[in-house]
């Protein structure tokens, strides 16, 4: 029976395919297709892992001390029984044969099917056996990982295989951490759905960078959707359709084809300079997570990297921080890939919804703070770990010898922080001089994402070369809204007069001081805000490479002088809806995106 699930649209487009349910704890399990010739070998690999776990459990049972509770032996018997149950092993083999899933993926898929069956049982005792099943599967997965020389967690590979005629796959999960999202850059999934998350959560941001349709904040999707269900993701409206009728399916396939044609048309603007109708040249930079993303930025027509989120170099590493040399090679690769265009590297922004696998001893003391978004994160964390911070600064400065690099500091709110940063830079430069490492001038900038920084911007501008407005956090902190919490997502309003006042004044003050200013938050990549930001005097936008063509098209049709004339009326509006109407009336043709 067909039904619909509603959520928050975070990445545009339409995706149609079969649902793959994955529990958050198993997102780092390898997901890849195997060849027909490898099916028997993959089944054998799965059975070897099962037999290894059986030997371990049997040995544990034999070695139980005489005074051990008899319940413990009974529990081991239950695990052994589940291990050899045909509902697990037989069905897992069927996933491998029918769908060409690798062993780890097949096990995870069958676990989701069985877990749903356990949840629907009326008997409390039987329902609680789901935990035993999960423990058994985790043991098999660990055995598979050990056999392949991988650690049980964080070491999964995700590969792409072109399966002509095979059904596309859509990921359904309770949540996907930003670090896990990086595994999908070359994955088999064409879209994803999560129960939690907000429009500008970092998971959503990475989804847009992958340019795949996504809907978050559905609350119940992972419970309602079943393994292998046919699903439509409408990333434009936030609608998920499960088991669609043939008529609905054909309608959405038509929309898919239209979207592909529109993308092809916009792609022709790649080499067209972003210049407004009245001759204002606009910089369109790209936001990237990894050095390999730089090539996509060049292909999209970016004029530089406006935000390199360096924290993604620190994730999926089992808690091991990247060395100075490893970071240097990553920054160097990004600089060289941009072919002389500037690269703005943001120092590590760890914390809130982007925790490390294993924090330092200092961070562990703050691991369970009530509100991590306002805790020890970003520059606060870097200054609390000075050796780590200086290591990153050395890597960045060393990479500057290979191209133009700008250094961006996140979450600055105090002049004392700026002074500490400048002192760290001075010390790093001396260390590099002593070691004989080459480096060039690196411009220093701060992110304006805390209202205090926007209010005290004249003081900050005396110490820095440029500023970048991070609208995602600026909106969050101005309106006291957790942007990852779908329960208050309707209150996250980029059109709020207070938000617009802070952005407009920040742009004006930076321009008046002769300092460059850009916007690197999600507003920069949304064509609904392009005219508004142009009217405020913004001349540098930074966004995901996939968003550049549509924003460029908007710029080519804009008259910045006429837009600026309407700005006072826009900022004087009391109602966000009225503000949106006024902003769009200055630009002419854009459609309003409602945030309520």
Residue of 376, 351, 37 lying closest to 202 (CA atoms): 351
**Fold exhibited by the domain 3-234:** Enzyme I; Chain A, domain 2 (1.10.274)
Of the residues 31, 79, 496, 520, only one is catalytic, namely 520
Residue of 394, 421, 399 lying closest to 408 (CA atoms): 421
202 in active site:
yes
**For each successive 10 residues of the chain (596 residues), what is the average pLDDT?**
90 90 69 89 94 89 73 80 89 92 91 84 74 85 78 38 60 77 68 84 72 87 90 94 95 92 88 95 95 92 96 79 95 96 95 54 44 80 94 98 97 96 97 97 97 97 98 94 74 91 97 97 92 96 92 94 89 77 53 34
What pLDDT is attached to residue 49? 93
What pLDDT is attached to residue 162? 40
d(CA 200, CA 203): 8
What pLDDT is attached to residue 371? 65
Of the residues 190, 202, 285, 544, only one is catalytic, namely 202
Sequence spans of domains, the chain: 3-234, 274-587
Strand order in the sheet with 214-216: 3-6, 239-242, 230-234, 14-21, 169-173, 189-194, 214-216, 8-11
122: CB partners within 8 A, 6+ apart: none
What pLDDT is attached to residue 591? 34
What pLDDT is attached to residue 164? 34
Length of the chain: 596
Q: Which residues pair with 275 in a beta bridge?
A: 281
Q: Measuring CA to CA, how many Å separate 146 from each of 45, 139, 159, 511, 582?
A: 12, 10, 20, 57, 61
Alpha helices by DSSP H, 232-313: 246-267, 294-299
Distance of CA 282 to the CA centre of its chain: 26
227: CB partners within 8 A, 6+ apart: 19, 20, 21, 109, 112, 113, 116
463 in active site:
no
SS3 49: helix
> Distance between the two ends of the chain, CA-based, in angstroms?
30
Q: Measuring CA to CA, how many Å separate 269 from each of 38, 266, 277, 337, 550?
A: 44, 6, 15, 21, 9
Query: pLDDT tens for residues 195-214?
Result: 888 776 766 777 776 778 99
Q: Which two tokens stand for residue 507?
A: 């742009």
Residue 313 is classified by DSSP as: G
SS3 520: coil
Measured torsion, CA atoms of residues 415, 416, 422, 423, in degrees rounded to the nearest 10: 160
Query: pLDDT tens for residues 66-106?
Result: 766 666 777 888 888 888 888 998 999 999 999 899 999 89
What pLDDT is attached to residue 230? 94
Return the CATH class of domain 274-587: alpha beta
d(CA 459, CA 314): 32
Residue 547 is classified by DSSP as: G
In degrees and rounded to multiples of 5, residue 574 shows phi and psi of -90, -25
Q: Which two tokens stand for residue 179?
A: 């670090």
Record the pTM.
0.74
Q: Which two tokens stand for residue 509?
A: 């003050």
d(CA 409, CA 411): 7
SS3 487: helix
> How do strand 214-216 and strand 8-11 relate by DSSP bridges?
antiparallel
d(CA 522, CA 504): 16
Residue 463 is classified by DSSP as: T
What pLDDT is attached to residue 149? 60
Residue of 251, 213, 253, 205 lying closest to 233 (CA atoms): 213
């Amino acid at each position: 029976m067909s039904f619909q699930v509603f959520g928050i649209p975070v990445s545009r487009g339409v995706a149609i395919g079969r649902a793959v349910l994955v529990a958050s704890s198993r997102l780092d399990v390898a997901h890849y297709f195997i060849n027909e010739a490898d099916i028997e070998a993959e089944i054998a690999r799965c059975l070897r892992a099962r037999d290894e776990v059986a030997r371990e459990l049997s040995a544990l049972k034999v070695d139980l001390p005489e005074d051990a509770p008899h319940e413990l032996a009974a529990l081991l018997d239950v695990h052994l029984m589940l291990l050899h149950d045909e509902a697990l092993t037989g069905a897992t083999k069927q996933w491998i044969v029918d769908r060409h899933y690798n062993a780890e993926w097949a096990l995870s898929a069958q676990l989701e099917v069985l877990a749903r069956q356990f949840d629907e049982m009326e008997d409390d005792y039987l329902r609680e056996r789901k935990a035993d099943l999960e423990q058994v599967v985790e043991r098999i997965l660990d055995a598979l990982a050990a056999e392949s020389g991988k650690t049980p967690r964080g070491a999964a590979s995700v590969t792409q295989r072109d399966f002509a005629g095979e059904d596309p796959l859509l990921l359904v999960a309770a949540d996907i951490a930003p670090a896990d999202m990086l595994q999908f850059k070359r994955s088999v999934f064409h879209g994803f759905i999560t129960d939690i998350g907000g429009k500008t959560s970092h998971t959503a941001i990475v989804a847009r960078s992958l340019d795949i349709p996504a809907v978050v904040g559905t609350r119940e999707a992972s419970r309602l959707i079943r393994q292998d269900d046919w699903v439509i993701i409408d990333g434009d409206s936030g609608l998920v359709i499960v088991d669609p009728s043939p008529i609905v399916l054909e309608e959405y396939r038509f929309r898919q084809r239209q979207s592909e044609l529109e993308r092809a048309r916009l792609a022709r603007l790649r080499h067209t300079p972003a210049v407004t109708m009245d001759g204002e040249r606009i910089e369109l930079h790209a936001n990237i997570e990894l050095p390999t993303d730089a090539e996509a930025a060049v292909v999209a027509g970016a004029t530089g990297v406006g935000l390199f989120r360096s924290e993604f170099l620190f994730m999926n590493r089992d808690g091991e921080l990247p060395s100075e040399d490893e970071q240097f090679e990553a920054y160097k690769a990004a600089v060289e890939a941009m072919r002389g265009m500037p690269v703005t590297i943001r120092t590590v922004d760890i914390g809130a919804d982007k925790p490390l696998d294993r924090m330092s001893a200092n961070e562990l003391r703050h691991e369970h703070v009530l509100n991590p978004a306002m805790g020890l994160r970003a520059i606060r964390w870097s200054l609390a770990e000075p050796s780590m911070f200086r290591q990153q600064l050395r890597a960045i400065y060393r990479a500057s010898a290979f191209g133009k690099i700008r250094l961006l500091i996140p979450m600055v709110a105090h002049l004392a922080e700026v002074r500490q940063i400048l002192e760290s830079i001075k010390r790093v430069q001396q260390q590099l001089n002593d070691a004989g490492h080459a480096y060039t001038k690196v411009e220093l900038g701060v992110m304006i994402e805390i209202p205090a920084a926007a209010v005290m911007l004249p003081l900050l501008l005396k110490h820095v070369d440029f500023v970048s407005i991070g609208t995602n956090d600026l909106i969050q902190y101005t309106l006291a809204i957790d942007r990852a919490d779908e329960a208050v997502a309707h209150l996250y309003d980029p059109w709020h007069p207070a938000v617009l006042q802070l952005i407009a004044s920040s742009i004006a003050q930076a321009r008046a001081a002769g300092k460059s200013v850009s916007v690197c938050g999600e507003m920069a990549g949304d064509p609904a805000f392009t005219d508004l930001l142009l009217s405020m005097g913004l001349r540098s936008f930074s966004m995901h490479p996939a968003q550049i063509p549509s924003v460029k098209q908007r710029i080519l049709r804009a008259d910045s002088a006429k837009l600026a004339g309407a700005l006072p009326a826009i900022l004087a509006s009391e109602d966000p809806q009225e503000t949106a109407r006024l902003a769009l009336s200055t630009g002419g043709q854009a459609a309003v995106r409602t945030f309520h």
